[in-house]
Structure 1
Amino acid sequence: MTSGAGSTSLRSARAARSWSQADAARQLAALGRATGTPVAAAASLKTLLSRWENGHALPEPHYRSLLAELYGRSPADLGIAGPPPADAASTAPARLRAAVAAAAAVGDTGVELWWEQLAIAGRLDDEVGAAGAGELVRALVEQLDETLVHSLVAGHRVEVAAVLAGAAALAGAQELDSGRPDEAWRRYDRARTAAREAGLPEAVATAGQAAVLVDVGEPGAAVGLLERAGPATSAPAQVRLEAAHAVARAAAGDDAAARRAIAAAEQRLRRAPVDVAAPRGIPVVELADLHRWHGRTLVELGDATAVEPLERALAAAPRSVRHRAAVHADLALALAPARPLDAAEHARRARELARRIGSEQTTARLATLSPPP
């Protein structure tokens, strides 16, 4: 954590340029792009800047370098140089003992509080996405991961791993939304291993990794990943996998297989009460989700009938901002050839929601649209 003097120095450097925190966040994001340094979206950076300037957190090393370059001062001058290195030989055993003791001290109450934090983070993510909930989710994942690594009792590890599986999957969705597929892949991979240890379905994380592969132009690899996953052990998990398979097959140009997969997902959803059967921490699958996946599949196939399921997805009970942004974006793409004015309106709404949650992914999907006549 930074000192008061350090945070004042960082704030003063910004004030010297007459920048608001939003201005500084945009400048820092632009510098990250120019130097090839991975950074959060501008909206998330504004939150980080506030924490750094108020002394609530110390920037990570790559942010320290960017801030030094941005303001033309050294990290020490800005008060963000970090603590001096300690004598590793003498402190490493003490750190390990402390970490093991801290993990052992987490009882049932602590795990239950983590479940509550995850539920709160999920609700916040529904409204503001990674822009407002990203830091909260990252902190929760790091805390859970640290505890799991140092937990020695099998039963305790299972309990912690269950919460970590949900938190890491949510972090993966946020990273993909923010245009960082490499980080999304790592988060989903952690969610998969945690789910496996907890004895939970890996479907959310597997489907997430498949979405990452589709997003980076590797739908064939996504299909292979999903086929290797095999059948899921619960109805909600299997519906999610079949829908992910449909999107991946469509992106790979396999029309018949894509339609079979989405039809299988729909039949399974209508047969089983998947909204009730989902294990704790696993997002429920509702008809609105299936409509969205169905529409996305048809968009990937270039099928104009995508409009119908997408409009049903949009008309459903209130959904997350991420859901609505994705549906508006898909509607814009589906309507563009025949109804360009309607497509432009959906694109406008999608971009508006994308800005709200810091979704670089949604903005990038709309980049191929031509302006209406």
Structure 2
Amino acid sequence: MGMGLRSARKARGWSQDRLIFEMERYAQQRLMEIASTASLKTYVSEWENGKRAISERYATILRPLLGVTDAELRGETEGLSFQQADGYEDLLDRIDSARSISESMVQTFLDQTELLRTMDRQMGAAGLVDQVTGHLARMEDALTFAVLPGTRRPIATALAGAATLAAWQALDAGSVERAWRQYELAKRAAQDADAPLYLAHAMGEQAYVLRDAGRPAMAVELIQDAQRTHAERQSPRLKAWLSAAEAELCATVGMDADARRALERAAAMLPGGDEPRDADMASIFLNGGHLARWRGNVLAMLGDSEAMEELYAALGTADPSFVRARSGLHSDLTQAHLARGELDQARSHLQQARLLANRTGSVRYRRRVELLTGRL
């Protein structure tokens, strides 16, 4: 029964420890729950010695890892024979495959990320976990075996953008540790790609993890550090985005003057026109309409009466495809009306915020809705 597993493992040139490592890596990339390392050592030994049957749960991991059919894995094929592979030969095959990745393949990675980004903002992140995890795993695998800079940089840049998106989705879904780890992945990929725009953006978004975790002062420090990270190579739109984020984080800790100065910098740096994205960085969306909404959010947090006008103007021009962002906008209006004691209007906007948060499955916005509900 276990001869198939043993033969397939040896054909790969893997020890039992290497097999266990690969099983754990495979499971981690796909968010699968498996036994501890110590238990897996027992399982593998018992599988190979015929003392334990391989359950379907582990067979689904072993088959793609070893490139065998179910019958081959369980030793049910007559005359089972694997040609012993040299470990170096296997490595070189993977390096050669990575080297042959063309510009069209990198573009496919980027197109898949863009599709996931569109689905996220319209439907929410909750239903995309498996797709995003698999997408990142494929790019990580390609980058692992890409040797020369000319091959690595395009893949690493694509990975940096995708990992930042995945991290924001994880944060929105309430998976805080996964979000943090994916931001770290994005930062490493950006550094590998020598892509300071993506590095600064990942740092800026990561600051929100700190804010939501109850460390807003540290979040302010991180967003300020992001603005100093290769500042000379940052685009005007990214600088405006980072300044607006700093304004929001400063408002969280009551730094009124700092928040207002950051808003002024954001307005001054933002390129004109309605286009929300840079040609060389697809990860951020920011134009005058988006910044007006952001400004209204910050002013509402500061208790400024001007927030109402800004927020209603933003609501009138909001892109309907940004469903989750509209939940935040209605939450901002709820907060602004509460500050003025206008409870009926606050309840109306809170109902809209709740409906949109439920529609997208946003844990972050649901939490905010609950906090606002407690004030009514």
TM, length-normalised to structure 2: 0.72
Q: Give the secondary structure class of the aligned counterpart of 1:217.
A: coil
For the residues of structure 1 that align with 2:158 and 2:311, how far apart are their CA atoms?
A: 32
Decide whether aligned partners of structure 1 residues 193 and 292 sit closer, same or farther in structure 2, where only a CA change above 3 A counts. Answer: farther
8 Å Cα contact 2:250-2:259 kept in structure 1: yes
Asked whether 1:352 is paired with 2:355, we answer: yes
Shift of the 114–269 alpha-carbon distance from structure 1 to 2, 3 Å rule, reads same
Structure 2 SS opposite 1:220? helix
Query: What residue is the counterpart of 2:33 in the other structure?
Result: 61
Aligned partner of 2:225 among 214, 224, 228: 228
Percent identity, aligned pairs only? 31
Q: 2:300 aligned with 1:299, yes or no?
A: yes
Give secondary structure in 1 for the equivalent of 2:234: coil
Larger radius of gyration: 2
Please report how far the alpha carbon of residue 216 of structure 1 lies from its aligned counterpart in structure 2 after TM superposition: 1.4
From 110, 114, 117, give the equivalent of 1:119: 114
Tell me which of 314, 327, 339 is aligned to 2:342.
Answer: 339
Structure 2 vs 1, CA of residues 263 and 278 (structure 1 numbering), >3 Å: closer, same or farther? farther
Segments of 5+ residues of structure 2 without an aligned counterpart are: 1-28, 37-52, 67-84
User: Aligned runs of 1:1-373 on 2, under 5 Å?
Assistant: 60-61=32-33, 79-82=56-59, 83=61, 96-200=91-195, 201=197, 202-229=199-226, 230=228, 231=231, 233-269=234-270, 275=276, 277-316=278-317, 317-337=319-339, 338-370=341-373
- 8 A contact 2:136–2:163 mirrored in 1: yes
Q: Structure 1, residues 332-366: CA drift from partner, whole Å, max 9, x if none?
A: 22222422222222222222222222211001112
Distance apart, 1:197 and its partner CA: 2.8
Q: Residue 211 of structure 1: CA displacement?
A: 1.5
Q: What is the distance in 1 between the residues matched to 2:165 and 2:172?
A: 11
Q: Is the 8 A contact 2:236 2:271 kept in 1?
A: no
Native 8 Å contact 1:132 1:357 kept in 2 = no
SS in 2 for 1:61: coil
SS in 2 for 1:369: helix
Give 5+ residue unaligned stretches, structure 1. 1-56, 65-75
- Aligned to 2:205, the other structure's residue is in SS state helix
The answer to whether the Cα contact below 8 Å between 1:234 and 1:278 also exists between their aligned partners in 2 is no
Paired residues of 1:329 and 1:365 also in contact (CA < 8 A): yes
Q: 2:30 & 2:158 partners in 1: Cα distance?
A: 26
SS in 2 for 1:80: helix
Conserved in 2, the CA contact under 8 Å of 1:333 and 1:366? Answer: no
The CA RMSD measured in Å over matched residues stands at 3.1
Partner Cα distance (1:60, 1:193) in 2: 24
CA contact (8 A) 1:164 1:194 kept: yes
- Maintained 8 Å contact 2:277/2:284: no
* Structure 1 residue matching 2:185: 3-state secondary structure: helix
Q: CA deviation at 1:255?
A: 0.5
Tell me the matched-pair count. 305
Residues 34-93 of structure 1 show CA distances to partners (whole Å, capped at 9, x for unaligned) of xxxxxxxxxxxxxxxxxxxxxxx98711699xxxxxxxxxxx898424456999xx8976
Q: Is the 8 A contact 2:247 2:262 kept in 1?
A: yes
Secondary structure of 2:320's counterpart equals coil
Q: Matches of 2:55 and 2:316 in 1, distance apart?
A: 50
